[in-house]
Amino acid sequence: MIKRFLFLLLVISSFASCKKAEKPTQVGLIAKNAVVVSARAEASQIGVDVIKKGGNAFDSMCATQLALAVAYPFAGNLGGGGFMVYRKADGEIGSIDFREKAPLAATRDMYLDDNGEVIPDKSILGAMAVGVPGTIAGVFDIHEKFGSLPIEDIIQPVIDLAYKGVIVTKKQEARIKKYQPLFPKANKEPIFLDKPWKANEVITYPELAKTLERILENGKDEFYKGETAKTLVQFIQDNGGIITEEDLSKYEAKWRDPITFTYDDLNIISMGPPASGGICLAQIMKMLEPFHLDEYGHNSVKSIQAITEAERRAYADRSFFLGDPDFVKIPISTLIKDDYLSGRMLDFSFEKATPSSEVSHGNIQIIESDETTHFSIVDPFGNAIATTTTLNGAYGSKLYCSELGFFLNNEMDDFSSKPGAPNMFGLLGAEANKIEPEKRMLSSMTPTIIEKNGKLYMTLGSPGGATIITSVLQTILNVHEYKMSMQAAVNAARFHHQWLPDEISMEPNSFNKTLITQLEALGYTINEKDSPVIGKVDGILVLEDNSYEGGADRRGDDTAIGF
């Protein structure tokens, strides 16, 4: 009887939410030649200008990455790191890891007190939270390998923007206000964001402009071995940090093989470890492939159930298996194999939720904070890039080097501060991602490129900590399964499950109450309040006539510009 009642409710709610699903009426920017979509119009414009000047997607990537450090200091950075996946016009694919590293003096227990307890905020706020930055190495390595314009053509427009300044948006005003109480806790001296900036005011960045001028003059060695390196190390140490000149001089970005897998007729190319994005995305999509999501309907009870259960299992594996591949052995091919993944879903039934406590491994909550940024670029030659870059938290560690003009990351918090935590599975889970000198901390970043029929189809990615993977996943499914435009796919309401805590986070006021009641009746805990937005996806879709549609996320100031 109860089963029948539930089934009826399922049918009604699936129907209701199908009707509510966003139809492909929202269309993003359409352009014939090239598109750059990033968190700020100023950065997208610089990226497009570089292409108009004859540059390719790689030149544009370097310019956009640096421009975001000026236009979007919340997450854009010189003091952080990131990942880029690329697909060249000739079909060559690859990826580069410019993730931060733990300093040489880092130790496994560096964030614990004498009783072995985690010291609140030590891995989050201030100089002890900072990992060795990778961004400048990434930019220069990408330019050296694939760039076509002289480096002046890429860096000079960014320097000009830094001198000219950037207008404060309404959303930026709110962000600055929100994080202002933390800046004095991380910095000995006042910083420029202590001032109450209002929308429409202009912030100039003369110190950052000067740093970029020296980098333009002396190349990446300026940042890792030159005057900038010395100033940076002195500054970090004066503020109580442990990064040395040796740490900076030893930093190298790494070209890595991307993770590739198929889903229906799509060939998906995403970032491998130390980013968990590619493996988790592959696991979730492979677990979902046998289900008929298109028939269930977008954000219907059945779709949400299937996606949630696949996410739950993938995030449990993430916690146990994944870390820096230079330090831990990761069974990548097994983890994304069909038979392994179909086995993982054997205990799933639409009748009721599988409790996370019954899914291995362990009880470690993935704690990630909430700002990063993604940008996607396609050029007139047919090259495509997807880059996700971050300071980790909002304005990173909040430590701002006024002399050099940029914020430092708090990426050290992406390590497991306390290996051996609460339970047997937790212990093992923490091991793969424990702190070790020169190790890269595990990331959720998921820059992704998709081919269809052997041709470029989509490039996308997102910020959002642990929700990055599930935001990218849902956007792909929105286009492929639910036939949405790129913009509609980006706009659509998102939900997220990460194994622990055992709950589905949902964007508030975006899912109807009947649907939520139905999921609760099936044993799912719904959390609407703690997640104002989930992810902030920027993507580009290749349309049938070979033009591009840029989808910029309305949750931020994100803007697609093209021609």
Residue ranges of the binding site: 99, 390-392, 414, 443-444, 465
CB of 367 to ligand DON, least distance (A): 10
Nearer Cβ to ligand DON (371/502): 371
Nearer Cβ to ligand DON (83/348): 83
Nearer Cβ to ligand DON (368/451): 368
> Quick one: which segment of 19-27, 297-305, 330-338, 364-372 binds ligand DON (CB under 6 A)?
364-372
Give dist(CA 341, CA 449) in Å, integer. 22
Give dist(CA 377, CA 385) in Å, integer. 5
Q: What's at 355, amino acid-wise?
A: P
Give dist(CA 59, CA 380) in Å, integer. 13
CB of 392 to ligand DON, least distance (A): 4
What residues have CB less than 8 Å from 361, skipping those under 6 apart?
A: 316, 317, 319, 320, 425, 426, 428, 429
Which one from 372, 373, 446, 459 is the annotated catalytic residue? 372
392: contact with ligand DON by CB under 6 A: yes
Nearer Cβ to ligand DON (298/494): 494
Count of residues binding ligand DON (CB under 6 A)? 16
272: contact with ligand DON by CB under 6 A: no
Catalytic status, residue 388:
no
CB of 12 to ligand DON, least distance (A): 36
Give dist(CA 419, CA 421) in Å, integer. 5
Give dist(CA 109, CA 418) in Å, integer. 7
Which parts are annotated binding residues for L-glutamate? 99, 390-392, 414, 443-444, 465
Give dist(CA 3, CA 26) in Å, integer. 38
276 neighbors 115 (Cβ within 8 angstroms): no
390: contact with ligand DON by CB under 6 A: yes
370: contact with ligand DON by CB under 6 A: yes
Q: What's at 359, amino acid-wise?
A: V
* Continuous segment of H or E residues that includes residue 515: helix 513-521
Nearer Cβ to ligand DON (42/368): 368
353: contact with ligand DON by CB under 6 A: no
| 268 beta partners | 261, 450
Per-residue binding string, ligand DON, 418-457, x by CB under 6 A, is -------------------------xxx------------
163 half-sphere exposure, CB direction, 13 A CA radius: 10
Closest CA to 123 of 531, 469, 362, 435: 435
151: contact with ligand DON by CB under 6 A: no
Give dist(CA 266, CA 450) in Å, integer. 7
Active site residues: 372
Q: Which residues bind ligand DON (CB under 6 A)?
A: 368-372, 390, 392, 411, 414, 443-445, 463-465, 468
